[in-house]
Structures are given as structure tokens and as C-alpha cells.
Structure 1
Amino acid sequence: MVRTVSDWFPDRPPTWGEILPTTLISFSLAADPSVFDTISWAWVAVGFVLTGIGLGPARATALGKRFGQWFRDIGVTGRISAIILFFVVAWGTLLTVEIPIAVIDSFVVGMWAALILYFLAHIAHAGEISGWRAR
């Protein structure tokens, strides 16, 4: 089966519920330029590449599709619980393992850049932004 870039996007346009939080958080990140004082471009690249792979090619694999289906099947409460559990584990890891803040900031900047480009490409591919929720 030949894969194309359009396989990386859902079969629906992005929603305002997806676009607006991304945009608002982007403005808050841009409002604090001190993040860029100690940026490590290598870690920006790592965050960008890993996020780009996760949003596109990895999501289009059989495993990625199964994970996506499971995540939808667990419902809103299950998704919120899974996200909270992820943040608790990540926060606990950050408290026990010493990782320089510049590495974390740089990785997050790379992730955010990939997320913004993904949404821009999704909007361009779909040609619109739909309502607040996916149907």
C-alpha cells in the first residue's frame, strides 16, 4: 500500500477545539522570550522530529491506528485520566532525574513547532476548520 501525506491527517478537518488551545498557548510561549535565552537547537530538533513522526507516519501505522482507536474507545473520562496519569508519571520522572531546564525547554519548543506546522498542514489539506467538535 502506497502511503501519502494525506494518510497522516484524520478524515475530517481540524476543529476549533483543537486549533484554539494550540494558538492561545503559542501566544503565551511567544510572550515569554526568555525561553529562547538558553535554547539547545539539537534538543529542539529532537522534539520536532519525534513529534512530527508521532503526528504523521507513526499515527498512520497499524499500531498507531490501534492506539488511536483505543484512546477514542475509553471515552472522555478515560482520556482525561490517561492524560493526567501521563503528566503525573512525567512530573515524577522530572523530579527524580536531573534534566537541565534548557533541555526540557528546547524539547518543548521543538514539539510545539511540529504541532503548529502539523495543524497548518492539516488546515491546508482540509481547506477549512470545522465546528468545535469532531463529528
Structure 2
Amino acid sequence: MDVLSALSEQFPDHPPTWNDIVIAVIAISWVPLYRTDLEEISWAMAMGGFVAFFVIRGPVANSPIGMRLGSWWKAIGLRGRAVGIILYAVGVWITSQFIYISVTLVSSIVAGGMLAIAVFVFLHVLSAREVSGWV
């Protein structure tokens, strides 16, 4: 059994779309565009972010709890998702006013996460051997 066959269980049951490809390109572009000084990134924390995002996107997303959360997220519609994202951002901003968190730490973890998203999409394309439409 090759690696892609073993990983294929972690991918969605449909081929990736061109939207996925665009998101992967944006994700991979984020690191050098957002962090102009890559020496500020803690590569150990970036690796931690990579592993965390990859595990959350793969095995956790395909667990019963992850599937249930994904179904709920789709069921609340575009407006509900926008409200959820805004509330999350407000919560993070409020928390950051009371608890100091290093910008380098956050940037490093997010950089690893962005790279994980790009790798996940790349592996999904290799596994599916096709890209299907825009949606």
C-alpha cells in the first residue's frame, strides 16, 4: 500500500475543486507576503502549526465529531458562517487585550498552518488525480 492510498481515507469523498487550488496558492503565498522577515518565524512553532492544521484537517475532520461540526457549519449558511468568523475574530481581539501573546508565536503557527493547507490540497489532487469544477 502506497502513502497516497493510505492517506486517501483522510480526504473528502470528492475531487478537489479549482477553489481548493486557489486557496492553496493563497495559503502558500501568505508566508513570504505576510512575513517579509522570515527570520522572525520560529520554525519549531511553524512545524507545530503544520502538524496541528494537518491533523485537524485530516483525521479530526473525518471523525464523527468533525463530520457533525462540518455538517452544522454548512447548515448555518453563508450569513451564519460570516457571523461565526466575525465573533471568533472579536473574541481573539478581546482576549489579546488581556493576555500577551507573541506576534512571532502566532505568525509561526499560522505559517505552518498555511503550509499544511497547501500540502493537504496538493496531496488531495494527487490522490484524486483530477480537479473538478469551481464549486
TM-score of the superposition, structure 2-length normalised? 0.85
Bigger shift: 18-27 or 5-14? Answer: 18-27
1:111 to 103, 113, 116: 113
Counterpart residue number, 2:80: 78
Listed as ranges, the gaps of 5+ residues in structure 1 are: none
Indicate the percent of aligned positions where both proteins have the same amino acid: 33
Q: 1:33 to 1:103 in 2, by over 3 A?
A: closer
Consecutive aligned runs of 4 or more in structure 1 exceeding 4 Å deviation: none
The alignment's C-alpha RMSD in Å is: 1.8
1:48 to 46, 50, 67: 50
State the 1:6 CA deviation: 1.8
Listed as ranges, the gaps of 5+ residues in structure 2 are: 1-5
- What is the CA deviation profile of residues 58-83 of structure 1, one whole-angstrom value per residue up to 9, with x for unaligned ones? 11111111111111111121122212
Q: Report 1:1-135 matches (<5 A).
A: 4-31=6-33, 34-133=36-135
- What is the CA deviation profile of residues 28-66 of structure 1, one whole-angstrom value per residue up to 9, with x for unaligned ones? 532455341212122112211111110011111111111
- What is the CA deviation profile of residues 10-36 of structure 1, one whole-angstrom value per residue up to 9, with x for unaligned ones? 111111222213313533532455341
Aligned length: 130
More helix by share: 2
